Amino acid sequence: MDSDGDGIGDLRGILTRLDYLQWLGVDVIWICPIFDSPNDDNGYDIRDYRKILSTFGTMEDFDRLLAEVHRRGMKLILDLVLNHTSDEHPWFLESRASTDNPKRDWYLWREGRDGHPPNNWESIFRGPAWTRDPSTGQYYL
């Protein structure tokens, strides 16, 4: 449900439909990633796990939604992306600083092969899965 007319469903929109969802017999609501993201990967590229992407609302909106869901005896599941982050996340930016950075092994970094990516893996979104980092010359997934 879109509460502000921008064409994108949001937390306040869900909140306005909770009574209807409960009437339908819904007891669990599962929502897409809502955390701050550059949104290059449909929200699965989290930039900050402590902020809500403004398109979806605010942390206050989330807190209110969660309280109202629980008040109705329902549950809320977040699609929580823990196995990767955005290339704009502070951890990634730190890992990118040098090949001996302590956070370097938090991500997949590889040497290229003859000026090309480490292998021929393709991204589901566009081109090669690997991206070359100009500062170190290595590639990351």
Burial (0-12, 13-18, 19+ Cβ within 10 Å), 45: buried
For residues 129-139, average pLDDT: 94
**Domains of the chain with CATH codes:** 11-78 (3.30.750.90), 89-141 (3.90.400.10)
Q: What is the pLDDT of residues 56-94, one digit of tens each?
A: 999 999 999 999 999 999 999 999 888 888 999 999 999
pTM: 0.77
What percentage of the chain has pLDDT greater than the value 90?
79
Q: What is the pLDDT of residues 84-121, one digit of tens each?
A: 889 999 999 999 999 999 999 999 999 999 989 999 99
Residue where the block lists tokens 């980092």: 133
How far apart CA 91 and CA 102 sit, in angstroms, is 10
What distance lies between CA 128 and its chain's CA centroid?
21
